[in-house]
Amino acid sequence: MINLYNLYEMKNAMLAPARFSADLTKTWYRHPWNPLSYTQAGRTIAAAAEMIERTSRHFGKPAFGLKTTRIGGKTVNVKQETVAELPFCNLIHFKRDTKRNDPRVLLVAPMSGHYATLLRGTVEALLPHHDVYVTDWIDARQVPLSDGRFNLDDFIHYLMQFMSLLGPKTHTIAVCQPAVPLFAAVALMEAENDPNVPLTMTLMGGPIDTRISPTQVNQLAEERDLRWFKNNVIHSVPFYCAGGQRDVYPGFIQLSGFMSMNLDRHVGSYVDFYRHLVSGDGDSAAAHRKFYNEYLSVMDIDAAFYLQTVDVVFQRHLLPKGQMKWRDPISNELIDVDPSKIKRTALLTIEGELDDISAHGQTTAAHDLVTGLAANKKYHHFQQNVGHYGIFNGRRWREFIMPRMRRFMREMDSSAITPVPEVDIKNSKHLKAEKWDKSIHGLEAVTKRLAEKAEKAKAKADSKQKSKKTSAKKTEKA
C-alpha cells in the first residue's frame, strides 16, 4: 500500500522553492520603500504571492498567547505552566496573579486533529472567574515508538490521573469528542468511590449516542467497516521524525475531511481574502489569517486511539448500550463502565441548534444514562443560532453559554468561592442553565420547536415576498 505520508512530505519538499519565492515576492511588494506597494498592481501581485505561500505552507502548533485577563475591571497577569507531563499529553495551568478562590476547572480538549489551542477563546472567557487547567495533547508524530501506543483506554486513564492530581473540588468540561472518555472516567471513579471524583461534568456537543440524529460524520463511520479505515486513513510517520514508524491518523487527512464538509464556504473565504488583500482591507485580511492559522494547524493521532474510538463510539455505540468496558492499562483488567454509578458529579449538557458534528440529542443522551443521579444535579442548555464551533468560541459562547456554566459550577461548589465582581456580571450577565426535563429538552420537543420556528420564518418570508409583489403591481399601474 502507498504511504500517503511519504507523498505528502515529498510534496512539501517539492513546493519549498516556490513557497520561498512567493514569500520573497510578497515581502518585496509590501515593503514601504517599494513604490509599487502603493499601487493596485503591487497589491495584486503581493496578494497572489501570499495565496501561493499560504496554500503550500505547513502550519505548526500555535501558542495560546494568553498573557493577561480582566477581573473586576483590572488587568491581571497570567502565566502558563506545565504541571504534569505524560508521553501523549501535558496538563497545563493558566496561573493568574490573584488571590481569588475561583472554581478549579479541568478543560478536556478534543484529540480530533486540532491542537488544544483551538480552545483559546474558551480558556480566555473562563479565565476571569475560574482556575483553568487544560489537556494539551501532543502530536503523535513527535512521540517515539518507545513510549508505546495510545488508545481510548489510555485517554480515559490520563483523565483519571489528572482528576486525581487536581483533587475532589474540581469541575470538568469536555468539548466534543472527549465527552465519551470523560463520562466513562467519571463513571469508573464513582464506581470505585474515588474521593477525587469531580464536582461537576459539563459535556459540550459530545457524541454520547451517535445513533440519534446521525450527521454526515456519523454516517461515514457506520457505512465503512473498521478494516476500511485501517487500510485507507492509517499511515506510518516518516522515519526521520521523532515518532518515526508510528501508525497514525495523519493531520493532513483529517484536515481534508474538515475542509470537504464545508468546501464552498472555505473556497469563498479564500476568494474574499484575496479581494481584501487587493483592496487593502487589512482588518478583514488579518481576521482571515487569525482564523485559518489556527484551523489549518493539525496534529497526528495515534492509530490505536482513532480506530478504537471509531469502533466503540461511532460503530458499536457501546456506551449508550450499556456494554462499554475499560481495560486498565496498568493491571490489564477489563472493567465495566456503568453510568448508573454516577451519583455525586452534577451534569450539564450543552447543544447547539446548527451543530452538524454532534447533532440534537447526541449529548443530552447522557441524562438518560445517569439513572442514579438526582434530578437537582442534571442541567441542560440548548443554544440557538450556533454551530459546533460556536458552542465553545465566539460571541454567543461568551454571552450566553459561559455565564450559564459559570453559575452552574458555582452553585454546585460548597467551598468558599470568591464572588464574581459586580462589574463582570454586568458585562457578561449571570444566566442560569435549566434543570433537565425530557419533555422540554428532549429530542422530540426540540425538533418540534425548531420545526415551528422554521415554519414561522417561512411564513414571514412568504408574506414579505407577497408584499413586494403587491407593491410592484401598484407601481406598474401608477
Give residue 1's pLDDT.
60
pTM beyond 0.85: yes
- Answer for the pair 288, 269: CB distance below 8 angstroms, yes or no: yes
Give residue 467's pLDDT.
76
Give residue 452's pLDDT.
80
- Answer for the pair 355, 207: CB distance below 8 angstroms, yes or no: no
Cell numbers given for 347: 451534569
- CA–chain centroid gap for 171, Å, is 18
Task: From residue 160, give the alpha-carbon distance in Å to each of 196, 325, 337, 447.
Answer: 9, 15, 13, 36
Nearest to 399 by CA among 408, 390, 411: 390
Tell me the backbone φ, ψ of residue 252, rounded to 5 degrees.
-70, -30
Encode the chain (478 residues) as per-residue pLDDT tens digits: 667 898 989 988 999 999 999 999 999 999 999 998 899 999 999 999 999 999 888 888 999 999 999 999 999 999 999 999 999 999 999 999 999 999 999 999 999 889 999 999 999 999 999 999 999 999 999 999 999 999 999 999 999 999 999 999 999 999 999 999 999 999 999 999 999 999 999 999 999 999 988 888 888 888 899 999 999 999 999 999 999 999 999 999 988 888 887 889 899 999 999 999 999 899 999 999 998 998 899 999 999 999 999 999 999 999 999 999 999 999 999 999 999 999 999 999 999 999 888 888 999 999 999 999 999 999 999 999 999 999 999 999 999 999 999 999 999 998 889 999 988 888 777 789 999 998 888 878 887 877 787 788 788 877 777 777 777 666 666 5
- Answer for the pair 187, 159: CB distance below 8 angstroms, yes or no: no
Assign domain 68-226+301-436 to its CATH superfamily. Answer: Alpha/Beta hydrolase fold, catalytic domain (3.40.50.1820)
Give residue 407's pLDDT.
94
Cα atoms in the Cβ-side hemisphere of radius 13 Å centred on 257: 18
3-state secondary structure of 146: helix
Strand-pair category, 325-327 with 334-336: antiparallel
Calpha distance 121→273 (Å, rounded): 22
Cell numbers given for 394: 465566539
Q: Which residue has the cell 441524562?
A: 367
CB atoms within 10 A of CB 239: 9
- Answer for the pair 69, 124: CB distance below 8 angstroms, yes or no: yes
Q: What residue ranges do the domains of the chain occupy? A: 1-58, 68-226+301-436, 442-478
Calpha distance 80→324 (Å, rounded): 36
